[in-house]
C-alpha cells in the first residue's frame, strides 16, 4: 500500500496483512495512543510489527493463529482504509463504530468475497469477510481484539486499551457454590442417558451425542459458550516427559483467555464413539472446523446456545420425572434436578474435582478461573502432572 490507500475507491479491495505496507501517517509510528515514557518490551515501532509480535505467540496452533490474525487484520484494514486512522490511534468511540460495521461490512465490493467464494490470500479478489457477522461472531471478534489491545498495553506499545471502557459486570463477593448436582443426583442423570433407546441408527446417534455432551461438560468443566464457539480442531496431541501421548483441548474462553484442558482417555473414547456415529474419523484432525457438538442428521452447522441449553434441560426434566415416580421421599431430589441448568454441570465438575484428589491449582487451570501460559517450557512438567491427576481421579464412570 501507499499514501493513497486510505482513500481507495470502493471497487478496490484491501490486501491481507502480509502484503500491507502503510504510509508513516497510518502505520502507527506516531499513533495517538502510543505509549510514551515507558520502556517497551517488544521491538515493534509500527502497528503491523506489533500485531505480528502478538501473533507470534500462537504460531504453534494453526486454528488459533488464523482466527487471531483474521480479527486483527480486519480491524487494521478497516481502521486505515475506511476510517483513515492508524490502529494505534483508535478510540473507544471508533470501536463502537467498528462494531456496527461488522454487522454489515459496506461497501461489499471492497470488503466481502464475491458470490460466496473463498479466494486464496494472494488472489486479487480476496476480501476480509464472507458476509455480515452474527452476534456470536461479533462477540468473539471483540474478545480477541480485547486480548490484542491488553497485550499491547502490557508490552509497553500502547498507552491504554480502548476496549477497557466496554460494559463490564460488577464484581460480586465470593459465595459458596450451591448450584451443583450431588453424587446421587449426578448418577440419576447418567442413568437417564444410559436408558435412552438404542434400537435404530437415529436412536444411537441421540444416545452417543448425549454421552459425548455430558462427558465433555463434566470432564472438562466447559461453559455452554465454550462448546458453541470452539471446534474439534481445537484438540491437540503432545508427548509428556516420558514420551507418552496426551490429548488436550485448547479452549478460547471467557474474556478471550486461551487455556488447555486435559482430554482424558475416557473423554477421547466418548469422542471416538460419537464421531464414528457421525461418519467421521475416530480422532479429530488438527484445524478441523467440525463443531464440538452437531445437530442430529447430516448437517454440519454449529448449534446455538439456546439449542444446547434446551438439549441439556430436557435430560434434567426427564430425570426429575423419573426420580419423582420413586415416591414422596424423593420429591426434594426431583425438585433440585428440575431446577438444574447447563451451568450446574460446570459447578458439578468443579465441585467433584475440588473435593476429590485433583490439586486445587489444577482445578483452577482446568476451569480457566485464571490465565495460564502455554508457552513457558517450565510449566510443561506441571501440565503433565495436572493431566495425570485429572486422568486418574476424575471420571464419568458410565
Task: Name the phi and psi angles at 197, rounded to 5.
Answer: -65, 150
Claim to verify: residue 81 and residue 21 sit in the same structural domain: yes
Q: Is 223 annotated as catalytic?
A: yes
Answer yes or no: do 228 and 375 share one domain. Answer: yes
* CB atoms near residue 7 (< 10 Å): 8
* DSSP 8-state assignment for residue 27: S
Same domain, 207 and 120: no
Residue that is last in its domain, among 154, 174, 192:
154
Give me the catalytic one of 346, 386, 387, 394: 346
**What would the grid cell of residue 32 be?**
495517538
Verify that 336 and 254 share a domain, yes or no.
yes
- State whether 104 and 227 are in the same domain: no
Q: 90 in a domain, yes or no?
A: yes
pLDDT of residue 3: 36
Give domain status of residue 45, yes or no: yes
pTM as predicted: 0.54
Terminal CA-CA length for the chain = 59
Based on the fold, state whether residues 340 and 235 are members of the same structural domain.
yes
Residue 188: how many other CB atoms lie within 10 Å: 21
Residue in 138, 132, 134, 131 with CA at minimum distance from that of residue 117: 131
Residue pair 236/340 in contact by the 8 Å Cβ criterion: no
| Grid cell in block for residue 40 | 517497551
Beta strand pairing call for 235-239 and 245-252: antiparallel
From 57, 238, 369, 380, the catalytic residue: 369
- How many helices (H) and strands (E) are present in the chain, helices listed first? 14, 3
Three-class SS of residue 257? coil
Instruction: Note the pLDDT of residue 175.
Output: 53
Of 198, 203, 254, 326, catalytic: 254
Judge whether 283 and 265 are in contact, CB under 8 Å.
no
SS3 call for 197? coil
**Active-site residue identified among 70, 179, 343, 395:** 343
Q: What is the pLDDT of residue 167?
A: 53
254 as an active site residue: the answer is: yes
In total, the chain counts a number of residues equal to 398
Domain assignment present for residue 173? The answer is: no
For the stretch 212-226, pLDDT in tens is 999 999 999 999 999
Active-site residue flag, 380: no
288 and 378 housed in the same domain: yes
User: Is the domain of 112 the same as that of 250?
Assistant: no
Q: Cell match 495425570: residue?
A: 388
Reduce the DSSP state of residue 252 to 3 states and report it. Answer: strand
DSSP string for residues in 265-297:
HHHHHHHHHHHHHTT--SS--TT---BSS--SS
User: What's the CA gap between 61 and 148, in Å, rounded?
Assistant: 17
Closest residue by Cα to residue 140 from 249, 228, 266, 52? 228
Quickly count: other Cβ atoms within 10 Å of residue 313's Cβ: 14
Residue 174 lies in a domain: no
Phi first, then psi, for residue 380 (nearest 5°) are: -60, -40
Are residues 230 and 144 part of one domain? Answer: no
Residue 206 bears catalytic tag: no
- 159 in a structural domain: no
Q: Is residue 245 part of a domain?
A: yes
To 10 degrees, what angle do helices 305-324 and 201-220 make?
Answer: 100
Residues 297, 201 contacting (CB under 8 angstroms): no
Number of domains observed in the structure of the chain = 2
**pLDDT score recorded for residue 115:** 83
Beta carbons of 128 and 14 less than 8 angstroms apart: yes
| Domain presence at residue 398 | no
Confirm if 262 and 218 have CB atoms less than 8 A apart.
Answer: no
Best CA proximity match to 371, nearest among 150, 140, 216, 61: 150
Q: Which of 223, 336, 387, 394 is an active site residue? A: 223
143 shares a domain with 234: no
The verdict on 202 and 344 lying in the same domain is: yes
Q: For residue 368, give the CATH number of its domain.
A: 1.10.443.10
pLDDT at 4: 34
The H-assigned helical ranges of the chain are 47-55, 62-77, 92-103, 108-111, 135-154, 183-194, 201-220, 224-229, 265-277, 305-324, 331-339, 342-354, 360-367, 380-393
All residue ranges of the chain with pLDDT < 70 are 1-13, 38, 166-177, 355-361, 369-385
At residue 34, φ and ψ (nearest 5 deg) are: -70, 140
Same domain, 79 and 222: no
| Catalytic residue status for 309 | no
Residue 241 grid cell: 516427559
Residue 168: inside a domain? no
Domain membership of residue 297 as a residue range? 183-393
Amino acid at each position: 500500500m501507499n499514501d493513497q490507500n486510505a482513500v481507495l475507491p470502493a471497487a478496490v479491495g484491501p490486501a491481507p496483512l502480509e502484503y500491507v505496507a502503510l504510509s508513516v501517517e497510518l502505520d502507527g509510528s506516531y499513533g495517538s495512543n502510543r505509549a510514551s515514557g515507558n520502556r517497551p518490551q517488544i521491538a515493534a515501532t509500527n502497528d503491523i510489527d506489533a500485531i505480528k509480535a502478538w501473533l507470534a505467540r500462537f504460531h504453534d496452533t494453526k486454528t488459533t493463529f488464523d482466527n487471531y490474525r483474521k480479527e486483527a487484520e480486519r480491524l487494521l484494514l478497516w481502521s486505515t482504509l475506511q476510517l483513515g486512522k492508524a490502529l494505534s490511534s483508535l478510540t473507544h468511540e471508533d470501536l463502537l463504530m467498528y462494531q456496527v460495521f461488522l454487522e454489515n461490512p459496506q461497501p461489499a465490493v471492497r470488503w466481502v468475497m464475491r458470490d460466496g467464494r473463498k479466494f486464496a490470500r494472494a488472489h486479487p479478489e480476496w476480501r476480509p469477510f464472507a458476509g455480515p457477522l452474527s452476534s456470536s461472531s461479533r462477540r468473539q471478534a471483540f474478545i480477541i481484539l480485547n486480548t490484542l489491545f491488553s497485550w499491547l498495553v502490557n508490552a509497553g506499545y500502547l498507552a491504554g486499551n480502548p476496549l477497557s471502557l466496554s460494559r463490564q459486570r460488577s464484581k460480586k463477593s465470593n459465595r459458596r457454590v450451591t448450584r451443583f448436582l450431588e453424587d446421587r443426583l449426578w448418577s440419576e442423570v447418567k442413568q437417564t442417558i444410559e436408558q435412552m433407546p438404542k434400537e435404530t441408527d437415529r436412536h444411537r446417534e441421540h444416545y452417543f451425542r448425549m454421552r459425548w455432551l455430558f462427558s465433555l461438560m463434566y470432564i472438562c468443566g466447559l461453559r455452554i459458550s465454550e462448546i458453541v464457539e470452539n471446534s474439534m480442531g481445537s484438540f491437540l496431541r503432545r508427548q509428556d516427559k516420558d514420551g507418552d501421548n496426551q490429548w488436550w483441548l485448547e479452549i478460547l474462553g471467557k474474556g478471550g483467555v486461551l487455556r488447555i484442558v486435559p482430554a482424558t482417555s475416557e473423554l477421547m473414547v466418548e469422542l471416538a464413539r460419537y464421531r464414528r456415529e457421525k461418519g467421521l474419523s475416530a480422532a479429530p484432525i488438527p484445524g478441523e472446523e467440525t463443531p464440538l457438538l452437531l445437530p442430529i442428521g447430516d448437517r454440519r452447522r454449529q448449534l446455538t446456545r439456546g439449542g444446547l441449553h434446551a438439549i441439556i434441560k430436557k435430560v434434567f426434566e426427564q430425570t426429575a420425572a423419573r426420580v419423582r415416580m420413586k415416591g414422596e421421599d424423593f420429591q426434594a431430589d426431583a425438585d433440585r434436578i428440575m431446577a438444574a441448568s447447563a451451568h450446574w454441570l460446570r459447578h458439578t465438575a468443579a465441585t467433584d474435582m475440588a473435593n476429590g484428589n485433583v490439586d486445587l491449582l489444577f482445578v483452577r487451570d482446568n476451569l480457566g478461573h485464571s490465565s495460564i501460559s502455554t508457552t513457558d517450557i517450565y510449566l510443561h512438567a506441571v501440565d503433565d502432572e495436572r493431566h495425570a491427576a485429572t486422568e486418574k481421579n476424575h471420571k464419568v464412570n458410565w
